[in-house]
Amino acid sequence: MARPTGNGKSEAPPLISVVIVAYQSGPTLARCLKGLREQIFGDFEILLVDNASSDGAPQAAAAADPAIRLLLPGANLGFAAGNNLAAREARGRWLALLNPDAFPAPDWLDQLVAMARRRPEVNCFASLQRDAAEPALLDGTGDVMTLAGFPYRGGYHNPAPPAVPEGETFSACGAAMLIDRALFLRMGGFDERFFCYCEDVDLGYRLRLIGEPTLLAPRAVVDHVGSASTGVRSDFSLFHGSRNRIWVYVKNTPSALWWTAPLHVLATLVLLVRHLTRGEAAPAWRGIVAALKDLGPALAARRELQAGRTAAVGEIAAAMTWNPLDLLRMRSVIKPLRGPRSGGA
Q: What is the pLDDT of residue 90?
A: 98
Instruction: Provide the pLDDT for residue 3.
Output: 39
CB atoms within 10 A of CB 108: 29
Task: Report which of 215, 177, 220, 216 is spatially closest to residue 199, judged by C-alpha positions.
Answer: 177
pLDDT of residue 226: 73
> So what's the pLDDT on residue 228?
46
The helix (run of H) or strand (run of E) holding residue 274 is helix 261-277
Q: Which residues of the chain have pLDDT under 50?
A: 1-9, 228-231, 340-345
Main-chain dihedrals φ then ψ at residue 139, nearest 5 degrees = -100, -25
| CA 184 to each of CA 6, 14, 79, 96, 323: distance values in angstroms, whole numbers, following the listed order | 31, 17, 15, 11, 31
CA gap 30, 22 in Å, rounded: 11
What is the C-alpha end-to-end distance of the chain, expressed in Å?
A: 39
Q: Do 291 and 324 meet the contact criterion of CB atoms below 8 Å apart?
A: no
Backbone angles phi, psi at 230, to 5 degrees: -105, -20
Q: Could you tell me which residues come within 8 angstroms of residue 30 by beta carbon, excluding any fewer than 6 positions away? A: 57, 61
How far, in Å, CA of 154 to CA of 145, rounded?
9
Nearest alpha-carbon partner for 211 in 183, 233, 185, 239: 183
Q: What is the pLDDT of residue 339?
A: 57
The answer to whether 71 touches 89, Cβ cutoff 8 Å, is yes
Q: What are phi and psi of 245, to 5 degrees?
A: -60, -40
What pLDDT, on a 0 to 100 scale, did the predictor assign at position 75? 96
pLDDT in tens, 102-150: 999 999 999 999 999 999 999 999 999 999 999 999 999 999 999 999 9
Nearest to 280 by CA among 242, 247, 244, 327: 242
In this prediction, residue 232 carries a pLDDT of: 59
What Cα–Cα distance (Å) separates residue 208 from each residue in 175, 190, 297, 319?
A: 19, 14, 20, 9
What is the pLDDT at residue 231?
A: 47
Torsion of CA 345, 259, 197, 33, to 10 degrees: -40
**Alpha-carbon torsion 250, 252, 256, 262, what sign?**
negative
Amino acid letter, 129:
Q
Which pLDDT score is estimated for 343? 40
Angle (CA) 146-188-259 rounded to 5° is 30
Q: Are 18 and 45 in contact (CB under 8 A)?
A: yes
Q: Domain 13-224 belongs to what architecture?
A: Alpha-Beta Complex (3.90)
The candidate with the shortest Cα–Cα distance to 148, out of 257, 29, 292, is 257
φ/ψ region of 56 (left if φ > 0, alpha if ψ in -120 to 50, else beta) reads left
The C-alpha angle with vertex 342 and arms to 319 and 344, in degrees rounded to 5, equals 80
Distance CA 246, CA 330 (A): 20
Half-sphere exposure for 119 (CA within 13 Å, toward CB): 27
